[in-house]
Structure 1
Amino acid sequence: MVSTITEGVKVSVKTEYQSSYSSPLQAHYVFTYRITIENASDHTLQLLRRHWFIYDSNGTVREVEGEGVVGLQPVLEPGEVHEYVSGCNLRSSIGKMSGTYLVERIIDGKQLRVTIPEFTMIVPFRLN
């Protein structure tokens, strides 16, 4: 698991290879990732947008941007945690992702960019 803290918001990521949905012979590798967002600030925050960069070890880079996370724009009070699971497919057995969330402080409308730590996705047989 990797974590980072930006402006009092802790983002942690854990990945898992999904062998039953992958097909290495067709260069199709599926991973899930569990994101934990913890509001350790003194302010109520709302997650508005996500912005991802997905790097495949074959040189492909994809950029994904959109509202919320898995269809939600959660509001987190100080001390609250929001978790969600999403997925990514790669054309190679190794890749990585990184990005940012755009969050807004409810009290004054100030928008903040929160770092999503870079994390790797590696098929387990590549670790031997």
Structure 2
Amino acid sequence: MNTPDTPAPPYRIEISARAEYIAAQSRPDEGHYVFAYHISLRNTGSLPAQLISRHWIITDGNSKVQDVRGKGVVGEQPLLAPGESFGYTSGCVLETPVGTMHGSYQMVAADGHRFDAAIPPFMLAMPHVLH
């Protein structure tokens, strides 16, 4: 934690994630489970930073892994000033009612420094499947 005498680290992005099961688009009898996930990024560093690309690792209940890479998020490459936040919603489809996601965003700070912002693991779960 920073004290008033300690400057904020230059490269720091805090990420939170929340997932929800989308029953209306899912077909459990066909092994088709749809989830939405809501991501919030906040630049807690001391320099502006731009999200350039993403890397997701999505694992279903059978340990099947999807490795997903792409430019930006939802068609954007947001630039976050210190203290600024950006949120978006996207989705994924699994063959099982339970899975996990984690990964990283590749960022470029205003000084040209490239760094990864880790996306902490979060659960994808159909309601009432986990106890």
Task: Give me the TM-score of the superposition, normalised by structure 2.
Answer: 0.90
Structure 1: which 5+ residue stretches go unaligned?
A: 1-6
2:65 counterpart of 1:78: no
Distance in 2 separating the partners of 1:52 and 1:127: 23
Distance in 2 separating the partners of 1:8 and 1:14: 20
Partner of 1:19: 23
Distance in 2 separating the partners of 1:52 and 1:8: 19
Deviations 1:44-103 (A, max 9, x none): 000000001110111211100011001100000011000000001000000001101000
Counterpart residue type for residue 70 of structure 2: G
Distance in 2 separating the partners of 1:59 and 1:110: 35
Counterpart residue type for residue 50 of structure 2: Q
Equivalent positions of 1:83-102 (< 5 A) are: 83-102=87-106
Q: 1:44 aligns with which of 41, 48, 56?
A: 48
User: More strand by proportion, 1 or 2?
Assistant: 1
2:38 counterpart of 1:34: yes
Counterpart residue type for residue 34 of structure 2: V
User: Residue 59 of structure 1 aligns to a residue in which SS?
Assistant: coil
Q: 2:66 aligns with which of 58, 62, 66?
A: 62
Counterpart residue type for residue 54 of structure 2: R
Give the drift of 1:114: 0.7
Task: Give me the TM-score of the superposition, normalised by structure 1.
Answer: 0.92
% identity of equivalent residues: 40
Q: Are the equivalent residues in 1 in contact too, given 2:12–2:117 (CA < 8 A)?
A: no
Structure 2: which 5+ residue stretches go unaligned?
A: 1-10
Consecutive aligned runs of 4 or more in structure 1 exceeding 3 Å deviation: none
Counterpart residue type for residue 126 of structure 1: V
2:115 counterpart of 1:118: no
Q: Are the equivalent residues in 1 in contact too, given 2:33–2:94 (CA < 8 A)?
A: yes
- The structure whose Rg is larger is 2
